[in-house]
Structures are given as structure tokens and as C-alpha cells.
């Protein structure tokens, strides 16, 4: 199924933010911050894997993803779609189906036995590959998959995340230095805008979340987490 409609970018971002709130995939808690794997303290948390469990939302998000890719990257720019282990794999399958393309997936590490493969599926040398992840914070995990594909002879000029934190300067620099154009649908700013519009939290919580988005490491340091990465 090839998707060929192109909703307004702001509409897509707002709708995805609303979906995330509807299925309780995002959370705000400034009083008891979440501790991230990096050691950061954060008043926000997201689990994009929940999108897979809701058929109408899942289908709409993948339609949006296909529209973003076709409009911003082109119609004949890719030979296959790659998902990163593990969360990116089902979304890669869904997007590949939308775009009528083959799919591969990339392990975090080589398999360790058999052919010791890190890439599963058929990827001829020189294939133009679009890498998809459910979310990216600053691009670190996505580039592990991109580097593996490039090492195997694939060409990666584009990546897509359904959700992009959009608050770390390191992220923009990493994608620029790695010569990869990152496409995405929604960010934390979109989620915060919906929370404000729907009055989902008190003003103090919303203000703390906004302060975190403006200066995440400084906020983390004030709230018991690391202040540098």
C-alpha cells in the first residue's frame, strides 16, 4: 500500500501528541522526576512502543510517517527500510509495507554465532537505506545502526523517528556531522502544547516541564541528576 496524501506538518504533530496523551504513552512528573539511563533527571517520560497496541492510532501514525518521508526525502530515494533492534523493527515493517519496499533489521551487536550477522534480511551493496526508530533523543542509538549499515556497504542519508526529543544541541550536531537528514513527526514541544491546551496539569508542573525543555541538563542538575553528558 503506497501512501500519497500529505497532511499539514503542524496538524500531524498535534494529532500525534494528542494520540500519545490518549493512550497514556507520555507522562509528566516534576515532583518525582524520572531517572533516565544517561543519569539525567527528567520530568517527562515517553513509551512509543504503546503505539503498536492501538490499531487506528498505529495506522494513522504510519500514514503520517510515509507522508513525511515522501514529501521531504522523495518518492524514489530508498531501496529498503531498516529498523533498529528492538523498538524500530515493527515500525520498519509497517513503513516498508506503506512504501512498498523491502525491510531489513539491524542488531545492536553482531549475532555472536552462526554467520555472526548484525544485519538481517537482504541488503545488496549500495542499497539506499532509510533507518527508522520509534524515538530518538540525540541520535546516539540511531547512529549505531547507521554505522553498521554503512560498514556493510549500504548508503544512509536519511533517518526517521516518530518522536524526536528536539532539546539537545548534540543531536543536531550528530546528524549534521554524520551527514544524515533526520525526519520526524512530533516533539516534546508538541506534547507540552497539547497538555497546556487541554489543561492536563497544574501550572507549576507545566512550567517545570517547559524549564526542562529549555535547559534539560541544568534542570537535571537541580533535581538530583547529572548536569553534563
Q: Is the bond leading into 86 cis (omega within 30 degrees of zero)? A: yes
The model's pLDDT over 159-205, given as tens digits with 9 standing for 90+, comes to 999 999 999 888 889 999 999 999 999 999 999 999 999 999 999 99
Cell 497538555 belongs to which residue?
195
- Residue positions forming the annotated binding site for 5-phospho-alpha-D-ribose 1-diphosphate: 107-108, 111, 113, 133-141
- Residue positions forming the annotated binding site: 107-108, 111, 113, 133-141
- Enumerate domains of the chain plus CATH numbers: 9-222 (3.40.50.2020)
The whole-number pLDDT of residue 227 equals 86
Half-sphere exposure for 103 (CA within 13 Å, toward CB): 17
Grid cell listed for 91? 515500525
Give 100: exposed, middle or buried? Use CB within 10 Å, 0-12, 13-18, 19+: exposed
pLDDT-based confidence at residue 109 (cuts at 50, 70, 90): confident
The C-alpha atoms of residue 48 and residue 33 are separated, in whole angstroms, by: 19
Tell which residue, 79, 71, 89, 90, has the closest CA to residue 3.
71
- Residue positions forming the annotated binding site for orotate: 137
Q: Could you give the percent of the chain with pLDDT greater than 90?
A: 84
The whole-number pLDDT of residue 115 equals 58
- Give this prediction's pTM: 0.92
Q: Which of 12-26, 76-90, 107-121 has the lowest mean pLDDT?
A: 107-121
Amino acid at each position: 500500500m503506497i501512501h500519497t496524501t500529505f497532511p499539514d506538518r503542524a496538524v500531524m504533530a498535534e494529532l500525534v501528541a494528542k494520540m500519545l496523551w490518549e493512550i497514556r504513552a507520555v507522562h509528566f512528573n516534576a515532583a518525582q522526576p524520572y531517572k533516565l539511563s544517561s543519569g539525567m533527571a527528567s520530568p517527562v517520560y515517553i513509551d512509543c512502543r504503546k503505539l503498536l497496541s492501538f490499531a487506528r492510532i498505529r495506522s494513522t501514525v504510519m500514514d503520517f510517517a510515509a507522508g513525511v518521508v515522501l514529501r521531504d526525502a522523495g518518492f524514489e530515494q530508498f531501496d529498503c527500510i531498516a529498523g533498529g533492534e528492538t523498538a524500530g523493527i515493527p515500525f520498519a515493517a509497517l513503513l516498508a509495507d506503506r512504501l512498498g519496499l523491502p525491510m531489513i533489521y539491524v542488531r545492536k551487536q553482531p549475532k555472536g554465532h552462526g554467520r555472526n550477522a548484525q544485519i538481517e534480511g537482504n541488503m545488496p551493496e549500495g542499497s539506499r537505506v532509510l533507518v527508522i526508530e520509534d524515538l530518538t533523543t540525540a541520535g546516539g542509538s540511531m547512529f549505531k545502526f547507521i554505522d553498521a549499515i554503512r560498514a556493510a556497504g549500504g548508503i544512509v542519508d536519511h533517518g526517521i523517528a516518530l518522536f524526536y526529543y528536539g532539546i539537545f544541541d548534540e543531536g543536531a550536531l550528530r546528524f549534521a556531522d554524520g551527514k544524515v537528514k533526520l525526519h520526524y513527526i512530533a516533539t516534546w514541544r508538541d506534547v507540552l502544547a497539547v497538555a497546556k491546551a487541554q489543561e492536563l496539569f497544574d501550572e507549576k508542573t507545566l512550567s517545570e516541564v517547559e524549564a526542562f525543555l529549555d535547559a534539560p541538563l541544568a534542570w537535571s542538575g537541580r533535581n538530583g541528576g547529572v548536569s553534563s553528558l
